[in-house]
Amino acid sequence: MSVGLIIAMPLRQWGLIDACMDNDASVETVDGNCQRADLARSVRRAGWDQIARWTPGVPGSGQWPPPDEIVKPQLTLAQWFLAVEVLERWAAAGDQVGQHDTAAQKRELRDLIVSRLQAHGIHVPLDRR
């Protein structure tokens, strides 16, 4: 696995990533792209491990901090690239059903991630599907 990169954001933004990854993993499991589904689940696990300090089998672990707390998820480039794709995918889906405000929040977060990656000199492939 490649070295992880930390991008700080409020927990409410990480929650958008977590929810979109959950949706993506579910859809891709059904549609047959198991590798993408596994990568989406790995993003969620990374968040649980780093942000909620989730430990399997340990009661009481996994408590999320308050929504405005700054969290610092550390993901691989492949995971961040998937986050960019998934946020756009589910923003487009939101627009189709009239959830324009939520779609705009997802695109704003997508743009934040892209700009942070670019600030590290990383070229972000914006259309990999």
Please classify residue 93 by burial: count the beta carbons closer than 10 Å to its beta carbon, then call 0-12 exposed, 13-18 middle and 19+ buried.
middle
Q: Residue 51 is inside which H or E element, if any?
A: none
Alpha-carbon span 53 to 43, nearest angstrom: 14
Polymer length of the chain: 129
If phi over 0 gives left and psi between -120 and 50 gives alpha, with beta otherwise, what is residue 62? left
Alpha-carbon span 108 to 18, nearest angstrom: 15
pLDDT for 30:
92
The residue among 22, 73, 21, 20 whose CA lies nearest residue 47 is: 73
- 90: Cβ contacts below 8 Å, ≥ 6 apart: 20, 23, 24, 106
* Mean pLDDT estimate for the chain: 90
Per-residue pLDDT reduced to its tens digit, 80-99: 999 999 999 999 999 999 99
If phi over 0 gives left and psi between -120 and 50 gives alpha, with beta otherwise, what is residue 68? alpha
Per-residue pLDDT reduced to its tens digit, 98-121: 999 999 999 999 999 999 999 999
